[in-house]
Amino acid sequence: MENVKISGIQLFLLIIGFLFGSTSILTPVASAKNDAWLAVIIGGLGGACLVWMYVAIAVLNPSKTLVEILRNRFGKYLGNAIAILYIWYIVHFSALTFRNFGEFIVTVTYPETPMVVIIGIFAALLVYAVNSGIEVVSRSSELFVPLLFVIIIIISLSLITTHDFTAFLPLLENGIKPVLHAAFEFATFPLGEIFVFLMVFPHFNKKINNLKKIAAFSVIIFILLYLWSIFEYLFVLGKDLLYRANFVPHIIASLIPNSNLEPLIDIYLIIGGGVKISICIYAAAKALSQVFGISDYRKLVTAVTTFSVVLSVWVYENLLEMVEFAQKVWPYYSIPFQIVIPLILLLSSYRAKTD
């Protein structure tokens, strides 16, 4: 393994950027309408448990990547087979993220540009970043991700006059079921996706125990910030528009009085996507190279990215399919990858440790 190190603050910002990836443009809890905030809290707790599980796996298997852990626990052949499934899953969801951002940009700013052109240009940039190494990705996240915080704060402060602070009432109008479904959605997208970091954690340069702190801290910060944004969406747009809108943050940005900041803000919202996709591509290429015993993951980055871009165009025919898939299918599709296999890994690693 090449000797690349990531510092604590870089890891923190990478996780935040990753989590804000698609959630900065889509609202996964919107199906809970005015109880969306409750879904964020419940789903956040569930998702935090998932993240805790991944971190525990990383701590029990220090300086091992996901592929190595899988091979250790399941044996060479089964481990590699599962690893390949994981690679498929990672590539698939990087393709979905590409698609999310492609649809976003095409809908809000460039309606006549073919989406594949936008995704292609985006991908070319990310290939460059990933080829330069995970270190470069994390350093650029150090530069860019703090902007996301600034944007969220600026938007919510500039809209303070248009808030309706009782918009989240009445509580649980449609019962608890939609809330739980939305919470589940939120736990698997984006929090459960943190498992990808099992490919990145080995690069962490401090003691492995610090990892717990950093992961906990970043997840808590993310959940609080997201809760803040959801309340803001509810207060500014109301439940109906929150439910109907395709890209809520863009509408929110366009409502800032006396200014047309939305193009600028749209660009900032893409930052998270950049971080997310580059980590996915890195993880997929790295995992692929480890499965087949190739020394340098960089050789496969172009191939993985190309496939991911093609997949992103191929995977849906229209925007509503994308939304429907993210809400209905994605959470269940994620169960084996985000919950079942990590749970087995955790238990068997724990047993191996105590034996």
Partner 1 sequence: MNTVLVLIIFAILIFHDLSRFIKQKDPIKVIAIYTFIMSASLVVSLLLAAGRRPPGPAEWIEWMLKMIGVVR
Partner 2 sequence: MINRKDKWFLSTAMLAVLCLAVLFLPGCWNNRDLTEINIVTALGIERSEDGKILVTIQVVEPAAIQSTASGKGKGGGAQPKPVFVLSYEGETVFDALRSMLSQVDKRLFLTTAQVLILGERLSKEGIVEVLDFFQRDHEVNYEMDVLIARDVTPAELLEIENDIDPIPAMYIKKTVENTVSRAKVKRTILIDLIKELSKSGRQPVLGQIAKAGKKVVRTEGTAAFKNGKLIGWLDPYATRGFLFATGKVKSTIVNIPADGGKISMEVIRSNGNVDVKLKNGKPVKLIVKVNLEANIGEYEGERKKVSPDYLHKLEKIFGEEIKKEIGRAINLAQKKYSSDIFGFGEQLHKFHPHYWKKVENNWDDVFSNLPAEIIVNAKIRRTGFIKNPIMKER
The whole-angstrom separation of Cα 189 and Cα 169 is 25
Rounded-to-10 torsion of CA 304, 307, 312, 316:
-140
Residue whose structure tokens are 């025919």 = 317
For residues 278 and 130, the answer to whether their CB atoms sit within 8 Å is yes
The DSSP letter of residue 204 is: B
175 binds partner 2 (CB under 8 A): no
Taking residues 48 to 87 in sequence order and writing x for each that binds partner 1 by CB under 8 A, - otherwise, the string is ----------------------------------------
Among 1, 314, 347, 352, which residue interacts with partner 1 (rule: CB under 8 A)?
Answer: 314
Among 112, 175, 295, 317, which residue interacts with partner 2 (rule: CB under 8 A)?
Answer: 112
Q: How many residues bind partner 2 (CB under 8 A)?
A: 24
Backbone angles phi, psi at 20, to 5 degrees: -80, -10
Q: Which of 241, 242, 264, 239 is nearest to 253 (CA)?
A: 264
328 binds partner 1 (CB under 8 A): yes
Class of residue 310 by CB neighbours under 10 A (exposed 0-12, middle 13-18, buried 19+): middle
Binding partner of residue 294 among partner 2, partner 1, none, CB cut-off 5 to 8 Å per kind: partner 1
Q: Which of 10, 11, 26, 66 is nearest to 242 (CA)?
A: 26
Taking residues 241 to 260 in sequence order and writing x for each that binds partner 2 by CB under 8 A, - otherwise, the string is x---------x--xx-x--x
Tell me the closest approach of the beta carbon of residue 96 to partner 1, in angstroms: 9
306 binds partner 1 (CB under 8 A): yes
Which is nearer to partner 1, 116 or 256 (by Cβ)? Answer: 116
Binding partner of residue 344 among partner 1, partner 2, none, CB cut-off 5 to 8 Å per kind: none
113 binds partner 2 (CB under 8 A): yes
Residue 163, token pair as written in the block: 């808030």
228 binds partner 1 (CB under 8 A): no
Among 316, 319, 344, 348, which residue interacts with partner 1 (rule: CB under 8 A)?
Answer: 316
Q: How many residues bind partner 1 (CB under 8 A)?
A: 26
Footprint on residues 143-172 left by partner 2 (CB under 8 A): 166, 169-171
Long-range contact set of residues 129-136: C-beta below 8 Å, sequence gap at least 24: 129/274, 129/278, 130/278, 130/281, 130/282, 130/285, 130/298, 130/301, 130/305, 131/298, 131/301, 133/2, 133/4, 134/4, 134/6, 134/200, 134/203, 134/279, 134/282, 135/4, 135/5, 135/6
Tell me the closest approach of the beta carbon of residue 75 to partner 2, in angstroms: 41
The whole-angstrom separation of Cα 347 and Cα 60 is 10
Which is nearer to partner 1, 151 or 288 (by Cβ)? Answer: 288
Tell me the closest approach of the beta carbon of residue 49 to partner 1, in angstroms: 21
The H or E element spanning position 122 is helix 115-131
307 binds partner 1 (CB under 8 A): yes
For residues 112 and 267, the answer to whether their CB atoms sit within 8 Å is no
SS3 of residue 6 by DSSP: strand
2 binds partner 2 (CB under 8 A): no
For residues 100 and 250, the answer to whether their CB atoms sit within 8 Å is no
294 binds partner 1 (CB under 8 A): yes
325 binds partner 1 (CB under 8 A): yes
311 binds partner 1 (CB under 8 A): yes
Footprint on residues 280-319 left by partner 2 (CB under 8 A): none
Binding site for partner 2 (CB under 8 A): 107-114, 117, 121, 166, 169-171, 173, 237-238, 240-241, 251, 254-255, 257, 260
Binding site for partner 1 (CB under 8 A): 92, 288, 292-294, 299-300, 302-304, 306-307, 309-311, 313-317, 321, 325, 328-329, 332-333
